Amino acid sequence: MGWMVELPVVGGWLARAARAPIRVRPLSTFATRLHAALLRRARGRLRRSWLFAAGQPVIALTTVGRRSGLPRTTAVACFTDGEDLIVAGMNLSMPRNPAWALNLDENPDATIEVAGQTIRVSAERAAGDHAARLWQRWSAIQPSAPVFQGLAGREIPLFVLKRRNNL
């Protein structure tokens, strides 16, 4: 989708059309939970999402709801940086950060489902030069990222997920 949203006349319109369904909160919640459930059910056989992440690797991320205190699972695209996984709070260029990013800001302890394994992780929001370097990598992997960031009108949060030693 990256090349489509960069088209001179219709690119912005296509990007807005792509994000229109998630403006309906119940539909957005249903779709992300369904996607996460499919990832968990596949137990590692589904490693990329062409529908939601333009073919990028995806993981099921479970955070603790900042208001409810309940586990919340969603599918997120990721990339590796050494031994760490990096996730970007794109939220399809919506003006607000995704709920999972707000949950990680409140409580950095989470779990991820990767290749059929549940792994406990701790999240740290990338900042400064580190965030700039990771954003460059993400933009190279996901060419539509800068376009969606422009539509969102906000800084896209990047989180570094590190495996917790206390398993």
With contact defined as beta carbons under 8 Å apart, do 56 and 1 qualify? Answer: no
Give the model's pLDDT for residue 50. 45
**Prediction pTM value:** 0.74
The reply to whether CATH 3.40.50.300 applies to domain 2-163 is no
What's the mean pLDDT in 72-101?
A: 89
Domain boundaries, the chain: 2-163
> Dihedral of CA 23/27/29/35: which sign?
negative
With contact defined as beta carbons under 8 Å apart, do 85 and 156 qualify? Answer: no
What's the mean pLDDT in 87-94?
A: 84
- Reference 78, options 18, 159, 155, 165; nearest CA is 159
Could you read off the pLDDT of 29-83 as tens digits, one per residue? 666 666 666 666 665 545 544 445 455 778 889 999 999 999 998 888 889 999 9
Confidence band for 91, pLDDT divided at 50, 70 and 90: confident
Give the model's pLDDT for residue 127. 97
Could you read off the pLDDT of 132-153 as tens digits, one per residue? 999 999 999 888 788 788 888 8
Q: How is residue 154 annotated by DSSP?
A: S
Number of alpha carbons in the 13 Å side-chain half-sphere of residue 7: 10
Give the model's pLDDT for residue 156. 95
Say what percent of the chain tops pLDDT 70: 66
Give the model's pLDDT for residue 18. 63
